[in-house]
Structure 1
Amino acid sequence: MNPGLTLAQVALPQSRAATHAVAKLATGVVTHAQWVRQVQAWCAALQQVPGQDVALYLDEPLAFAAALWGAWHAGKTPVLLSDVHPQTSAQLLPQVAACVGQLPNAIVTAHDAAVVDAVALQPLNMTQARVVLFTSGSTGMPERIEKHLAQLDAEVHALQSVFGADFAPPGVQVLATVSHHHIYGLLFRLLWPLSSGRLLGTHFARYPEELVQQLQATPSGLLVSSPALLGRLPAQLDWGGATTGLRGVFSSGGPLSAEASMHTQQLLGHSPTEVFGSSETGGIAWRRRAEHSDVWQTLPGVALRVLDSGCLAVQSPHLPQASVWWETADRVEASPDGHSFVLLGRSDRVVKIAEKRVSLTAMERSLQAHDWVKQARAVVLEGDGASARVGMVVELAECGWQVLQQQGRRAVGQALRSVLEGVVERVALPRSWRYVEQLPVNTQSKTTQQSLLALFNPVVPQPHWLERNTTQAVAELYIQPQLLVLEGHFPGATLVPGVAQLHWVVSLGQQAFGLKSRFADVQLLKFQQPILPGDTVQLQLQWHAEKGCLQFALTSARGAHASGKLLEWTL
């Protein structure tokens, strides 16, 4: 089996034949020589940038890969933004020397042929070349993680040693439903294919219908997906006709349930290969349920042990220091030989509610044992101390939905609360419940703390204050798709109604300026265009105390949405 190139060699002109196919586009094949030329152009442009860190965000994976290697060969550290929301940009872009791709004031590649020709690419130093990524924020705010190229190279070659023979090129093309701006997509969608010689997939399948179309157009494909999509593939689509060329399926971001794994195998013809790990640890282990059931097999080079707490600790060349044990929060039962284990769940998250110590994990496990519940996630609401309370988000099973529809929320709530009465004291039981068809997940199949909390703040989006003084304030609002104000107002059209926008103005105006005013009139009111789920809007507020007037405007990258004046109620 071909072990593949090291990541230090991938972009060197002599590392592959000039005509070797890197990717297939609608316009034809992109050869290794053509891609290397793009790397040289980015290297030439980035060599002119002072400073070290360069922000990088490009949706198209082939262009992203060229910019990534161009940054490394220019001696820069690429910083991979997980999204392009204004809040993310405002937080991270002041820390970098330049931007590449779909970012403000982005630089472009060098166009002068003589300048590009002068770039002589040399093998990268894998202990000096680095990349910065961010965690998905599943337990809080995303954290910055820096990885050396040697760590990524070790993981790529571990994947190749285990799976390379099953998906040997030539002709195998990687298809993806996950982003390459996070570690899983970066490794499986870009680094491993470029090292092993597989074709990069140049499209992103957001929906099952798109995936069917891409599979139909791919004679030999390898799918890189997530539990969120695989567990909910619609059976009515033409999977039989689409999967004749599918060679295998990968899944990561969270364990795939036995039910979802069997569902995927029935539709796609392959038991998914699951990879267990994290942004911090890299890959730790893998399994195919059809072969291994619940048991995870360690990847080459990974050593494990079980701590006194029952949690897993690992040593791995995928870590910053391969000889140091990294302690995880995952409880496991390990095999005697130390090469496999069964996951038992996350370690307890213990919080204080009404002066009582409460295990959120224990509550989640108890609910998930109930026939009505598929998954449950607990969050702490309303700050700390005596004011704190537990909110519970429950993804109901089909029988749970039937009870909800037939008997109502009260019956479901009473039944589920009774399950928890033996787990926590009554005073600490969840006081707020949300029932969902599926837990909110991001593109990496992670359910983040922010997305769960948004379900309990369904009227006003969480403001990110950009400016605030006694007379002026500017807040950025990300319109979560879960906001309840989006539902039910306009059949067939999900948008923020005008009355909700006025409520936001009043609520955030009171928060910004400490107002206790009530407003009796609105003047010069204009609604120019709708606010839609996924929009990031900016709310500008001006308070004219002498007139009792709150002036506002709602805008986004698409332009103006609403504006007007609210007048204070007076006797």
Structure 2
Amino acid sequence: MAEWLGVSGLMAALARRSHVVAHGAAGVTTAPEFVRRVAAWRQAFTAAPGKSWALYIESTTEFAAALFGAWHAGKHVVLPGDTRAETLAALRERADGCAGELPDGLWPQAWVEPADSMDWPALASRDTLVTMFTSGSTGAPGAIVKHLSQLDAEVQALQEAFGAALPAQVRVLATVSHQHIYGLLFCVLWPLAAARAMPADRLSFHEEIVRACGDAPALLVTSPAHLRRMPQALDWSAARGVLRTVFSSGGPLPPEAAADALRHLGQAPIEVFGSSETGGIAWRQRARHEDRWTPLPGVQWRLQDGFLAVCSAHLPDDGWFQCADHVLPAADGGFTLAGRADRIVKIEEKRVSLTQVEQALAASPLVREARVVLLELDVGTRLGAVVVPSESGAAMLAGQGRAALLAALRARLGDAVDAVALPRRWSFAEALPCNAQGKTTQAMLRDVFRRVLPAVRWQAAHAAQDALSAAAELEVCEDLAVFDGHFPGSPIVPGVAQVDWVMALAPERLPVPPRARFRRIEILKFQAVITPGTLVHMTLAWQPERSALAFRLSSARGPHASGRIIFGEADV
């Protein structure tokens, strides 16, 4: 087991050491190099006015240096989970300035060679603060202020629970982001406190995990989103040879995913259960514990009105925190999860349980996973459903089409939920959208239904002259945003949207100059409306001598639209 450096006095300890603190494709970072970088950030933050500073940096090494630099400059660090426009807008009320890869972000002007006189006093456990945000998986992200004492206590609990089983020189590989509590603890604070090499960068793809394994012992910090979709054809032998532990958090891991991970990676994942509010609560390995969760060291739990309540040093005070999870007592002081409390919303003054709708969809043999989200449509607030079909559902979608699958799912829901709870928008996907923590947020689900372009299947070109022509089938699904407001009860694709589709898709296959500027449309005809569920055949022809794009949209019902778009050189 590696020497324990702790968190509050980490920088003073690193100033006396020379071990590797981070590793990545670009090489390693030693303790002296890291201390110089922290000193540079400390100097930059000390010179910056204001108390609260938002910080976002993709590189884990640079992020860690900036975090400790800000803390040693007395700053309260605010960690946005992403750089979405709505996230940045919310930061304006919480931060006096931005650092790193945020708009107008602060960066050190140069590396600093710390003077021998530069001291690194221990960070004050109650005055060193970081604001983090909940994932937004069950609603809008909420801000949570953490004291260093809470983070330090959780890091020590992780070391007590798992540290003895890890080799001293084990490297950390990660697919999750340090901007959230799970990644901050497992990829930054715990490795640094245990004199272990943290990851320089986050791995996004399974192939990157295999390449990063190398030949030295490693542990993998990941999420169910990655472990549920492990490619069977990928050669995992390199991972099996070096991985000593696999951690997963962000949601319970399905039994089949846990079995896949054990087969491919050679390790049964250690699942860590908790939340941004509570920190880590409990852990399990399905291969040993099945559904039973064991509390982490120092965590007490009890049943409170049928819900899980916890008390630990990971919380801001000594009180009990009631979670939204139903639990049942299990052997050896553990518990099993029995579902979350219903998420209740009102639609047309009727109470609708989002949980009930999702459970009814997931109970269908045609569905592998399903999530629903509230959408503001022209008819008012309604539900949208993002569905990952099962093998049988995917077969129905491919063989009988979208309408057949929709009819089957609506019939299933019709027996289980009120008519007002039937989703008005549907999207079928190979996997649920997820963020760097493997969480599916409400914002990401809403983004699914903001699509403006239909699904496109381009037809193969057969001759040299086809370089100036192209054809494709457009699947006009009812979840396209262009149907909002056009028109309630009788949705159609607006003519301007049809022209926009042509202009947006043509450069994918034709040599339309990237700087071409729209001038006018000639011989434009709209012969028939396009409604949801229509399979539209689009033909395009680029006429370079005229800088013109001829198009025609048709379907089994006949022609819908045609015309010629004239372009010119872009204005300078």
Corresponding position of 2:188? 190
Report which stretch shifted further, 225-234 or 386-395. 386-395
Residue type of the alignment partner of 1:163? F
**Alpha-carbon distance, 1:491 to partner:** 8.2
**Out of 312, 317, 321, which is 2:313 matched to?**
317
> How far apart, in 2, do the equivalents of 1:258 and 1:7 lie?
35
Residue type of the alignment partner of 2:304? L
Matches within 5 A, 1:298-377: 298-308=295-305, 310-321=306-317, 323-335=318-330, 339-377=333-371
User: How many pairs are equivalent?
Assistant: 490
Query: Contact 1:110–1:116 (CA<8 Å) still a contact in 2?
Result: no
Does the C-alpha gap of structure 1 residues 349 and 32 become closer, same or farther in structure 2, counting only changes over 3 Å? same
Corresponding position of 1:435? 428
Query: Contact 1:349–1:361 (CA<8 Å) still a contact in 2?
Result: yes
Corresponding position of 1:447? 440
**Out of 178, 182, 192, which is 1:180 matched to?**
178
SS of alignment partner, residue 245 of structure 2: strand
Larger radius of gyration: 2
**CA displacement, residues 460-494 of structure 1 (integer Å, 9 cap, x when unaligned):** xxxxxxxxxxxxxxxxxxxxxxxx4464469899x
Corresponding position of 2:53? 54
> How far apart, in 2, do the equivalents of 1:195 and 1:289 lie?
28
TM-score, scaled relative to structure 2? 0.77
Query: Contact 1:133–1:183 (CA<8 Å) still a contact in 2?
Result: yes
Query: Contact 2:2–2:196 (CA<8 Å) still a contact in 1?
Result: no
> How far apart, in 2, do the equivalents of 1:390 and 1:205 lie?
34
Does the C-alpha gap of structure 1 residues 291 and 33 become closer, same or farther in structure 2, counting only changes over 3 Å? same
Q: Structure 1 stretches of 5 or more lacking a match?
A: 460-483, 498-502, 509-516, 532-563, 566-571
Corresponding position of 1:11? 11
SS of alignment partner, residue 346 of structure 2: strand
Does the C-alpha gap of structure 1 residues 433 and 85 become closer, same or farther in structure 2, counting only changes over 3 Å? closer
> How far apart, in 2, do the equivalents of 1:307 and 1:119 lie?
50
Does the C-alpha gap of structure 1 residues 172 and 454 become closer, same or farther in structure 2, counting only changes over 3 Å? same
Query: Contact 1:441–1:447 (CA<8 Å) still a contact in 2?
Result: yes
Query: Contact 2:60–2:202 (CA<8 Å) still a contact in 1?
Result: no
Does the C-alpha gap of structure 1 residues 82 and 287 become closer, same or farther in structure 2, counting only changes over 3 Å? same
Report which stretch shifted further, 106-115 or 65-74. 106-115
Provide the alpha-carbon RMSD of the alignment. Answer: 3.7
Query: Contact 1:3–1:160 (CA<8 Å) still a contact in 2?
Result: no
**CA displacement, residues 326-365 of structure 1 (integer Å, 9 cap, x when unaligned):** 121112112376x311112221122334544332212222
Residue type of the alignment partner of 1:408? G
Q: Would you say 1:458 and 2:456 are equivalent positions?
A: no
Corresponding position of 1:473? none
**Alpha-carbon distance, 1:400 to partner:** 1.5
> How far apart, in 2, do the equivalents of 1:47 and 1:146 lie?
22
Does the C-alpha gap of structure 1 residues 115 and 528 become closer, same or farther in structure 2, counting only changes over 3 Å? farther
**Out of 263, 268, 293, which is 2:265 matched to?**
268
Does the C-alpha gap of structure 1 residues 529 and 218 become closer, same or farther in structure 2, counting only changes over 3 Å? farther
**Alpha-carbon distance, 1:141 to partner:** 2.5
Does the C-alpha gap of structure 1 residues 390 and 88 become closer, same or farther in structure 2, counting only changes over 3 Å? closer
Does the C-alpha gap of structure 1 residues 454 and 39 become closer, same or farther in structure 2, counting only changes over 3 Å? closer
Matches within 5 A, 1:68-467: 68-93=67-92, 95-109=94-108, 111=110, 118-169=117-168, 171-215=169-213, 217-308=214-305, 310-321=306-317, 323-335=318-330, 339-382=333-376, 387-459=380-452
Query: Contact 1:24–1:30 (CA<8 Å) still a contact in 2?
Result: yes
> How far apart, in 2, do the equivalents of 1:526 and 1:368 lie?
39
> How far apart, in 1, do the equivalents of 2:26 and 2:347 lie?
60
Does the C-alpha gap of structure 1 residues 518 and 251 become closer, same or farther in structure 2, counting only changes over 3 Å? closer
Report which stretch shifted further, 92-101 or 44-53. 92-101
Query: Contact 1:156–1:191 (CA<8 Å) still a contact in 2?
Result: yes
Corresponding position of 2:512? none
> How far apart, in 1, do the equivalents of 2:439 and 2:409 lie?
25
**CA displacement, residues 283-313 of structure 1 (integer Å, 9 cap, x when unaligned):** 11111100011111111111112222x2211
Residue type of the alignment partner of 1:119? M
> How far apart, in 1, do the equivalents of 2:193 and 2:96 lie?
29
**Alpha-carbon distance, 1:409 to partner:** 3.0
SS of alignment partner, residue 127 of structure 1: coil
Q: Structure 2 stretches of 5 or more lacking a match?
A: 462-469, 475-479, 486-493, 509-564, 567-572
Does the C-alpha gap of structure 1 residues 349 and 491 become closer, same or farther in structure 2, counting only changes over 3 Å? farther
Corresponding position of 1:466? none
**Alpha-carbon distance, 1:209 to partner:** 1.3
Query: Contact 1:44–1:115 (CA<8 Å) still a contact in 2?
Result: no
Does the C-alpha gap of structure 1 residues 109 and 430 become closer, same or farther in structure 2, counting only changes over 3 Å? closer
Does the C-alpha gap of structure 1 residues 28 and 229 become closer, same or farther in structure 2, counting only changes over 3 Å? closer
Does the C-alpha gap of structure 1 residues 487 and 336 become closer, same or farther in structure 2, counting only changes over 3 Å? same
Query: Contact 1:43–1:119 (CA<8 Å) still a contact in 2?
Result: no
SS of alignment partner, residue 198 of structure 2: coil
Does the C-alpha gap of structure 1 residues 527 and 267 become closer, same or farther in structure 2, counting only changes over 3 Å? closer
**Alpha-carbon distance, 1:186 to partner:** 0.8
Report which stretch shifted further, 146-155 or 238-247. 238-247
**CA displacement, residues 355-404 of structure 1 (integer Å, 9 cap, x when unaligned):** 443322122223222322211222233379x8443332221111221122
Report which stretch shifted further, 198-207 or 360-369. 360-369
> How far apart, in 1, do the equivalents of 2:314 and 2:327 lie?
20
> How far apart, in 2, do the equivalents of 1:39 and 1:243 lie?
35
Residue type of the alignment partner of 2:321? W
**Alpha-carbon distance, 1:279 to partner:** 1.1
Does the C-alpha gap of structure 1 residues 148 and 489 become closer, same or farther in structure 2, counting only changes over 3 Å? farther
Does the C-alpha gap of structure 1 residues 421 and 10 become closer, same or farther in structure 2, counting only changes over 3 Å? same
SS of alignment partner, residue 127 of structure 2: coil
Taking only the aligned residue pairs, the percentage that are identical comes to: 46
Residue type of the alignment partner of 2:375? L
SS of alignment partner, residue 47 of structure 2: coil
Does the C-alpha gap of structure 1 residues 3 and 332 become closer, same or farther in structure 2, counting only changes over 3 Å? farther
SS of alignment partner, residue 165 of structure 1: helix
> How far apart, in 2, do the equivalents of 1:400 and 1:188 lie?
37
TM-score, scaled relative to structure 1? 0.77
> How far apart, in 2, do the equivalents of 1:53 and 1:358 lie?
39
> How far apart, in 2, do the equivalents of 1:507 and 1:389 lie?
12
> How far apart, in 2, do the equivalents of 1:56 and 1:410 lie?
46
Residue type of the alignment partner of 2:60? P
Corresponding position of 1:478? none
> How far apart, in 2, do the equivalents of 1:274 and 1:356 lie?
38
Query: Contact 2:388–2:432 (CA<8 Å) still a contact in 1?
Result: yes
Report which stretch shifted further, 159-168 or 132-141. 132-141
**Alpha-carbon distance, 1:87 to partner:** 4.4
Corresponding position of 2:528? none
Does the C-alpha gap of structure 1 residues 281 and 506 become closer, same or farther in structure 2, counting only changes over 3 Å? closer
SS of alignment partner, residue 11 of structure 1: helix
**Alpha-carbon distance, 1:22 to partner:** 1.3
**Alpha-carbon distance, 1:16 to partner:** 7.0
